Amino acid sequence: MRERITTDFIEQIPKSDLHLHLDGSLRLRTLIELAKQEKVKMPSYSEAGLRRLVFKSHYKNLPEYLHGFQYTCGVLHRAENLERVARELAEDNLAEGVRYIEVRFAPQLHTSTDLSTPEAIRAVVRGLESAAKAHNRSKRVASGGDVPFHFGVIVCAMRRFGRSMSPYYSDLIRIMGHAHRKEIYAAASLELARAAVELVREENLPIVGFDLAGEESGYPANDHWRAYQFAHENFIKKTVHAGEAYGPESIFQAITECHANRIGHGTWLFDEKMIKDSRVKDKAKYVSNLANYIASARIGIEVCPTSNLQTMPSLKSIAQHPVCRMIEEGLSVSIGTDNRLVSNTTVSRELELVTKEAKLTRRQLRNLVVAGFKGSFFPGSHNDKRKFVRGVITRFESLERKLLPKL
């Protein structure tokens, strides 16, 4: 008999989100309010209109999925706006039982004449701290009836960018006008890594990771190896968007040349047909070796099921998604939302989808939830992280006894 796992249980258990983009996760009503304030022109100023025209349940392709970011990014060039949306994002996660998040964003994308890269990062941290303090000072946490809320910030470099994307990018392209575009992209990522390290060292900000996002095919991660090497040498953990629009070789490159501790998406990990390197003769063996290495090295895979279904037309359902195979083969998988607004989703919804489609047992669900916390780039000490994870497990088991029927 199949074990019953209820929606209520999934909503109440402590959860994590390790792949969460700030600019894709605004509250819709906040976006509307800020767009009016910042005079950002949108196709509609009603929630229903934006759901119909921009933030849909289904998208034709990746460009349509990304279309809405011009509006969300357009309202995030002030420190007070970044602080607000970061606070609200933490509050929304807290409301559905999420107790650890890693919020990633590209601070260079949000610069303006009045806002520098470090100031953008500080604003996001302030917003997250505000929500965390409110929760952690509550009586429920003090009495042991709930686990505390923790967070980290992951700064994202862009694989490619243009002048119109931000004043920072425009100035850099102008200054390096005679350089090859890939050199310009690499210069921006190295500068971001340096800024992150300095903010951790000088201000102890919870910048826990360095990421590379944007168009994957044609813009390889190893173009940014200097930035990743700098982050690596200064104890900043690394994640890379890889295997989302390109194949296993992109994931291999992220691990071997960028020191990736985790992989963002990794959707095409098992797809032999996407291997382009003519030197790879036995593609099945290559994929097997790569998956085994990732599993044994406990390199995390940040899977965002709904987002993948919306941007990859070849995936028709979660049952076809490689997350099922990843779990079967013992990879360290965490379930994330990617973009809560753009994908109209929550962590609870993503976990429930995977639980149903992959037919997870209670034990498998527990392992999946715990893997998210264990695979996190937790900003405290290793012992603090172990204590936090133990509290999560205790809370999970308590809710299991309370909310689910005995087997």
CA distance linking residue 299 with residue 261, whole number of Å: 5
Strand order in the sheet with 300-303: 15-21, 98-105, 150-158, 207-213, 237-242, 262-265, 300-303, 333-335
Residue with tokens 């036995």: 282
Which residues make Cβ contacts (< 8 Å) with residue 133, sequence separation at least 6?
Answer: none
Residues forming beta bridges with residue 16, ordered by sequence position = 100
Q: Which residue in 244, 249, 302, 352 is the catalytic one?
A: 244
CA distance linking residue 168 with residue 350, whole number of Å: 35
244 is a catalytic site residue: yes
Which residues make Cβ contacts (< 8 Å) with residue 289, sequence separation at least 6?
Answer: none
Q: Could you tell me the two tokens for 90?
A: 């933490």
> What stretches of 269-403 show up as alpha helix (H) in DSSP?
283-296, 305-311, 323-328, 347-357, 362-374, 382-403
The set of catalytic residues is 244
